[in-house]
Chains A and B, each alone.
Chain A
């Protein structure tokens, strides 16, 4: 049962344009959401997060939007740079529950930013 889904396996974007990565979840107990970035031969690196009490969080070129009613979140990267090319994972957690550190990950989206 895939509780966190990233339906787009890959996304290709031109440098300078906006990249939008999408994520859907099914578990209504999730109340904290994160995006991780992963380069080949490296572990996932934390990018940005959002609590369910917010609908937007911004950090530099990265913005995460949360639509609780639709159980959907998205990561916007503006402007996209070739160095952003990586696999992006959406993750969710029930921060208010007992599984504090357990993250449920999506399958990942491969982002390619062309110069």
Chain B
């Protein structure tokens, strides 16, 4: 158990709909990351927050948005869903906005499986 909690674990929704994925970081971790793992693209970095502020952005679609709240939990909002958005969405957290190994391991949650039908 990494200490990173993601809900829901599984979600099936129709095209055009909107969903929200939720993440609670490990206790004390200030940085939250979102990654998408699809069959053809592998693990892709979406976005990073540190203490409520956006810190780094990857190939996140405009239909997707995220935020980190004062209690440090984060939400990833996916709207106008398409079939190609079906993927496993991982949240990860770390104490600082650095990289694993500089005394700052990035811990991953178990992921939220999203299926768009």
Contacts and interface: CB of A to CB of B under 8 A. Distances in A.
B99 A46 contact: no
B98 A95 contact: yes
Contact of A34 (B50, B94, B100, B110): B100
Contacts, number: 76
Given A43-B108, A43-B111, A106-B42, A100 B97 contact: yes
B46 to A, nearest CB: 10
A45 B100 contact: no
B2 A101 contact: no
Nearest to A93: B99
Interface residues of A, number: 27
A102 interface: yes
Contacts of B105: 46
A101 B56 contact: yes
A106 to B, nearest CB: 7
Contacts of A100: 48, 55-56, 97-99
Given A101-B48, A102-B48, A44 B101 contact: no
Interface string A94-114: 010011111111111000000
A19 interface: no
Nearest to A36: B108
A101 B108 contact: no
B101 A98 contact: no
Interface in B30-50: 31, 33, 35, 42-45, 48, 50
A46 B102 contact: no
A63 interface: no
Contact of A49 (B48, B101, B108, B109): B101
Interface in B18-67: 31, 33, 35, 42-45, 48, 50, 55-56, 58
9 contacts: A43-B2, A89-B43, A100-B55, A100-B98, A101-B56, A104-B45, A105-B35, A106-B42, A108-B43
Interface of B: 2, 4, 31, 33, 35, 42-45, 48, 50, 55-56, 58, 90, 92, 94, 97-102, 105-111
